[in-house]
Structure 1
Amino acid sequence: MVAASRELPVSCYGLEVDGRLEAEFTTRDGARAGREELKKRFPMLQIRIHDAQTNAAEEI
């Protein structure tokens, strides 16, 4: 996991929680694992993975 940032990632995957970028990951698998862990702990959150290369977001 890379340091948290408020801007969209340029070359990796960002974890967006309730509309705010909270963490960046170097791999898609890492971002998915982070998303799953957060979703288990806080099921009410809206969590999306932002892919910087395609500029697309994947939502649960």
Structure 2
Amino acid sequence: MPKSIRNLPATGYAILVDGCVKAEFSTKDGVESGARDLKRRFPVLQVKVYDALAKMDHEINIG
């Protein structure tokens, strides 16, 4: 099967859930808050925050 393409944003920030873009944000505080809330509600999901400027992502862990 072909690997899915994530369609990452060129600017701003995004929440990635299990490798798929689910929401885009213009501020770092907004995306971090949204990702932490999502991870608290659904702890089994892999939730990451993508930073378009740095072209990097990091996983959100609640603990």
Question: What corresponds to 2:57 in structure 1?
Answer: 57
Count of matched residue positions in the alignment of Structure 1 and Structure 2: 55
Tell me the distance in 1 between the aligned counterparts of 2:53 and 2:47.
19
Q: Structure 2 length normalisation: TM-score?
A: 0.82
Deviating runs (4+, > 2 A) in structure 1?
A: none
CA RMSD of aligned residues (A): 1.0
Q: Matched residues, percent identical?
A: 45
Distance in 2, Cα, partners of 1:32 & 1:50? 10
In structure 1, the gaps of 5 or more residues are: 1-5
Q: Which has the larger radius of gyration?
A: 2
Cα distance in 1 for residues equivalent to 2:57 and 2:19: 11
Aligned to 1:3: none
